[in-house]
Amino acid sequence: MHPTNDPNLESFIEVDQDSHFPIQNLPYGLASPQGGGDNFLCSAIGDYIVNLAALEEAGLFDGPELDGKKVFQESTLNAFMDLGHEAWNEARTYLSKLLSADEATLRDDESLRQQVLTPMDKVELLLPIDIGDYTDFYSSEPHATNVGSMFRDPENALKPNWKHLPVGYHGRASSIVVSGTDLHRPQGQILPPESDDTPIFSACKLCDFELEMGFVAGKGNELGDPIPVNKADEHIFGLMLVNDWSARDIQKWEYQPLGPFLAKNWATSVSPWIVSLAALEPFRIEGPDQDPEPLPYLQSEDNWTFDINLDVFLQGEDMDEPHKICASNAKNLYWNVAQQLAHQTITGCNVKPGDLYASGTISGEEESSYGSMLELSWKGTDPLEFPNGEERTFLEDGDEVTMTGYADTDEYRIGFGEVTGKVLPPKDLGL
């Protein structure tokens, strides 16, 4: 085990047992101080934000990879990600040491601590990466089976390609927003119930979320040179929570034969934190049996996956608190991130630092682990009931959806924080 993952490692900063941010995590983000001042790239420990720009400025990242670099003075993580996995590991090792209980450099320097540590509730967290391209896969078998059954044919829910390749589509990067951004219900073409072929213009009536995880590409590849599946780790910087908001009625009418288009381009929300692959290393578990055996370019050594708990909460305007409506896990994915990246690039397609690759909706076998309203309410036929007597088939105006994710051991928890967003009423477009 890498020393930065040692469960016995402790920081001089107190961290609650159930905090998402023990010293073994050290996620990456971008903070904006509430009282004004410049944004800065950061990490987190317990209830504190760690200013990476200040640590760099103080010359404390002085290893062979990072010495003299100014990557943390930037307004996104892209330049740092472009340095590659050896630089990421060096930053993690140095940060882990600086924050550890038996290292005096930061612990005993009051003025440096003032510059570097800020209570988390004194900053706003922004999107820490510049996302050039966004791909969304479709990699959970229960989800693909459920959607295939509802949209097409329950007898042939999975298309013949599904177990041979990680099905995906190219999404829209410009509308990716950070947690806390509220969104207007989208409008567009939908089919009214009385027609099979003549659409109307309407606000979306079947507004949905999708529980997903995304990985962020770090170092890219040259056009023409695929990333081999067992080298994918070196190109994946870390993981985020993703809510791929979806307009199911727009989708149902527009999607054939090229796949989702406007149904999913109006917003995709992500957590402000990127958790590194290095921090998730202890949570790699054996993946599902893949039968038929994938083609060689998709054969991932040890066929691993991640064990990460994922929960979804919904709070309507008249509800006193958020209610858990889904408990799923990243291990419900059939295809892992290495296979997804190998597949994305096998044609020679190049990826760039900051590209986002979402997993697809992560549903498990149990109804309580379905990762979308479409599945939870079974296309609106089986409403969810809430303690205040309200029901939901799809999202209503004012509904706030919050997703959270964490991997657990007995000793500590590696969390992603949360991704949250509220559905606002449709804008008046004067149409």
Ligand X SMILES: O=C(O)/C=C/C(=O)CC(=O)CC(=O)O
Tell me if 249 contacts ligand X by CB under 6 A. no
Q: Which of 56, 90, 136, 375 binds ligand X (CB under 6 A)?
A: 136
Tell me if 360 contacts ligand X by CB under 6 A. yes
> How big, in percent rounded to 5, are the helix, strand and coil portions of the chain?
25, 30, 45
Least separation in angstroms between residue 91's CB and Ca ion is: 31
**Contact partner at residue 268 from Mg ion, ligand X, Ca ion, none, CB < 5 to 8 Å by partner kind:** Mg ion
Residue nearest to ligand X (CB): 360
Query: Backbone dihedral region of 235: left (phi > 0), alpha (psi from -120 to 50 degrees) or beta?
Result: alpha
Tell me if 266 contacts ligand X by CB under 6 A. no
Positions 25 through 84 that interact with ligand X (CB under 6 A) = none
Q: Is residue 143 annotated as a catalytic residue, yes or no?
A: yes
Neighbour tally for 403: CB within 10 Å: 28
Distance of CA 222 to the CA centre of its chain: 25
- Torsions phi, psi of 131, nearest 5? -95, 110
Contact (Cβ atoms closer than 8 angstroms) between residue 419 and residue 269: yes
The two structure tokens encoding residue 323: 């209610």
Q: Which of 69, 103, 120, 151 binds ligand X (CB under 6 A)?
A: 151
Q: Which of 268, 332, 339, 345 binds Mg ion (CB under 5 A)?
A: 268
Of residues 143, 235, 323, 343, which has the active-site annotation?
Answer: 143
By beta-carbon proximity to ligand X, the closer residue of 85 and 264 is 264
- The three-point CA angle 234-219-231 to 5° equals 25
Least separation in angstroms between residue 13's CB and ligand X is: 37
Least separation in angstroms between residue 228's CB and ligand X is: 25
Tell me if 143 contacts ligand X by CB under 6 A. yes
Q: Give bridge partners of residue 123 from the DSSP assignment.
A: 33
Q: Give bridge partners of residue 314 from the DSSP assignment.
A: 323, 401
Beta strands at 176-178 and 268-270: parallel, antiparallel or unpaired: parallel
Nearest to 266 by CA among 181, 343, 335, 328: 181
Binding site residue list for substrate: 138, 152, 251, 255, 361
List interacting residues with ligand X (CB under 6 A): 136, 138, 143, 147-148, 151, 210, 212, 244, 246, 255, 260, 264, 360-361
Catalytic residue numbers read: 143
